[in-house]
Amino acid sequence: MPLHLPEHLGRPIPDSPHAVSACLPTWADNIGYEEGEPRVTETLTTGYPRFVYNRFCRDLFESVGEKVTGPEHQCLVFPSEAAADRARSLINYRLDANAAEIVALSDLAQADEHNDMHAVVFPVEHARMAQDAWQHMGEGISSRQAQDLLEGPQDEVTLVAQQALSQITSRVATLASVPAEFTWLASCGMSGFAALHRALDRLAPGLPSVQFGFPYVDSLKVQQLCGPAGCWFLPRGDRDELGQLQQALEAGRRFNGVYTEFPSNPLLAVPDLSRLSELCRTHQLPLVVDETIAGFGNVDVLPAADAICSSLTKSFSGVGDVTGGSIVVNPLSRFAGQLADALDASPPTGLYSRDAVVLERNSRDYALRLPVACENAGRLVEFLRGRPEVQAVYYPDDLNPAGDGDHASRYDAFARPGAGRGPLFSVLLHDAKRTTAQFHDALAVDKGPNLGTNYTLACPFTILAHYHELDWAESCGVSRYLIRVSAGLEPYEDLEAAFALALSPNA
């Protein structure tokens, strides 16, 4: 039974205290969440961990706060001093003040894995800024580590965790066709992305980055806020903007790297990765590709990239009860040695032991699950494009209205034999202002953030990711009425029936 009805508001998706999504069943609920309505926010015991503090994390913050904070202060807990220091630095940089400080929590340690924990303490009026730092870089303590600190270790997993970490590393390295020493694991996709951003900044300090194409929200925020020189944002990621980048480079403008998604989230646009790679190599500029949406099992983009980053929270896990991320450096890249050294010097926040055990178990059948989800997505896209209520479906093929076309050939150039086009697509209805909320509310699939899960998930992506900058998002071609759908493993006939009913609820 998917969680999609009003009475399901706030329920974890899946039914786990460590779920990384929660049900927001109606359009109004999503807006209420963004506006901080108690009716919505007070029902959430969990949610996407970088956006919603899990119940165990909240309890830990309160417990630690009683020991280390004074009146009118709050704290967040991080698994390492380095992660806490980065969060503190971002808070203070954005406030232009030394408002936040870090405090060691070694007295709370119950095992070696907890010994480096630190809290970031800040005045309560800056709680929103602190949450932004937690969200953008993704380096906060995980819910399982918080639970173990509050309740004591749930089980002895030291040896099992070491084996799990080794198995995950090997699994990612094998999928990417690289030696394991060119693979790094991270606590989530964004902590991996942030580590790569630090690495490129170390290679060419003081220079801005380039974001080619409209990306996932925090990928852009990290570039804009976590480096001294910011980011040149090329939101369309099309031929014209590729020409702009080429002209800038030929005119002598300098950057520390280029970032792109393949395909992009949420418009599923496919950049001309071949030309972009050639341009970057001509001008000796590192290229980072995030292939989370397609996934290792569908595409091999490493030949065009100097490094790839992925969120293992998504299709690699599938279950939706753990986060993880990975970085793979192209061993043939001219930057391979420098990037590896920089990542070793400032590595991503790693996976907590119990999270590693869960992620390893979840990912064992990745290669079997991915084709099923991709096939369901492709069939739903074809069905929806045949419906008169639908204005556009964004999907990495040539009927995608985003960008300048050629999405299929650009995708196929890096597709593995027999690959699908990923489980994700986005839908825009005709007369969207009038029709979208009704369609969303009537859709009988799980409704909440996240993607790549074994169950179909839908959410009003732009509302959740860009609610306070909707006009800006629309200026970049991303409608505020976009519904993003991640197809799961359900029988296709059930999915088609759910979408048909939502499009014609009174039929």
* Pairing assessment for the beta strands 118-123 and 101-104 based on DSSP bridges: antiparallel
pLDDT 10s digits, 193-220: 999 999 999 999 999 999 999 999 999 9
Same domain assignment for residues 300 and 342? yes
Give me the phi and psi of 105, to 5 degrees please.
-120, 35
CATH number at residue 497: 3.90.1150.10
Q: How many separate helices (H) and strands (E) can be counted in the chain?
A: 19, 17
Cβ neighbours of residue 487 closer than 8 Å, sequence gap 6 or more: 373, 374, 376, 377, 380, 423, 424, 425, 456, 495
Give me the phi and psi of 54, to 5 degrees please.
-60, 155
Same domain assignment for residues 342 and 195? yes
Same domain assignment for residues 68 and 166? no
Q: What is the pLDDT of residue 167?
A: 97
Last residue of one domain, picked from the residues 94, 113, 141: 141
What is the C-alpha separation between 363 and 175, in angstroms, rounded?
A: 12
Same domain assignment for residues 370 and 282? no
Q: Are 323 and 20 in contact (CB under 8 A)?
A: yes
CATH number at residue 99: 3.30.70
Residue 354 lies in a domain: yes
Q: What is the pLDDT of residue 157?
A: 74
Give how many domains the chain has, as a whole number.
Answer: 3
What is the C-alpha separation between 474 and 461, in angstroms, rounded?
A: 12
* Secondary structure class of 303 (helix, strand, coil): helix
What is the C-alpha separation between 49 and 38, in angstroms, rounded?
A: 19
What is the C-alpha separation between 276 and 477, in angstroms, rounded?
A: 21
List of the chain residues with pLDDT < 50: none
pLDDT 10s digits, 336-377: 999 999 999 999 999 999 999 999 999 999 999 999 999 999
Same domain assignment for residues 166 and 222? yes
Residue 26 lies in a domain: no
Same domain assignment for residues 203 and 352? yes
Sign, CA dihedral 311-131-20-221, equals: negative
Residue 47 lies in a domain: no
What is the C-alpha separation between 392 and 266, in angstroms, rounded?
A: 13
Q: What is the pLDDT of residue 474?
A: 97
Q: Which amino acid would we find at residue 153?
A: P
Token readout for 449 is 């953030």
What is the C-alpha separation between 236 and 269, in angstroms, rounded?
A: 9
Percentages helix, strand, coil for the chain (3-state, rounded to 5) are 45, 15, 40
Angle at 36 between CA 15 and CA 64, to 5 degrees: 70
Angle at 224 between CA 218 and CA 230, to 5 degrees: 155
Angle at 100 between CA 98 and CA 102, to 5 degrees: 120
Range list of β-strands (E), 147-250: 183-186, 209-212, 231-234
Give every strand in the sheet of 101-104, ordered side by side.
73-78, 118-123, 101-104
Residue 127 lies in a domain: yes
- Nearest Cα neighbor of 333 from 308, 311, 310 is 308
Peptide bond into 401 cis (omega under 30): no
Residue 16 lies in a domain: no
Last residue of one domain, picked from the residues 141, 174, 198: 141
Q: Cα separations (Å) of 351 from 17, 185, 423?
A: 18, 7, 25
- Helix axes of 492-503 and 432-442: crossing angle, nearest 10 degrees: 140
Last residue of one domain, picked from the residues 364, 393, 416: 364
pLDDT 10s digits, 223-280: 999 988 899 999 999 999 999 999 999 999 999 999 999 999 999 999 999 999 999 9
Give how far the C-alpha of residue 121 lies from the chain's centroid of Cα atoms, to the nearest Å.
26
Same domain assignment for residues 209 and 131? no
Q: What is the pLDDT of residue 324?
A: 98
Q: Which amino acid would we find at residue 107?
A: D
Question: What DSSP letter does each residue of 48-108 carry, written as one string?
Answer: STTTS--HHHHHHHHHHHHHH--TTEEEEEESSHHHHHHHHHHHHHHHTS---EEEE-GGG
Which pTM value belongs to this model?
A: 0.95
Q: Are 477 and 259 in contact (CB under 8 A)?
A: no
Residue 117 lies in a domain: yes
Q: What is the largest CA-CA distance in the chain?
A: 63
CATH number at residue 227: 3.40.640.10
Token readout for 70 is 């004074």
Identify the H or E element spanning 241. helix 239-250
- Nearest Cα neighbor of 126 from 98, 102, 103, 156 is 98
199: left (phi over 0), alpha (psi -120 to 50) or beta: alpha
Identify the bridge partners of residue 424 per DSSP, sorted by sequence position. Answer: 486
Angle at 218 between CA 211 and CA 314, to 5 degrees: 105
What is the C-alpha separation between 236 and 232, in angstroms, rounded?
A: 12
Q: What is the pLDDT of residue 1?
A: 87
Token readout for 396 is 């990495």
Same domain assignment for residues 302 and 196? yes
Structural domain harbouring 134: 55-141
Token readout for 492 is 């296709």
Same domain assignment for residues 162 and 309? yes
Q: What is the pLDDT of residue 115?
A: 80
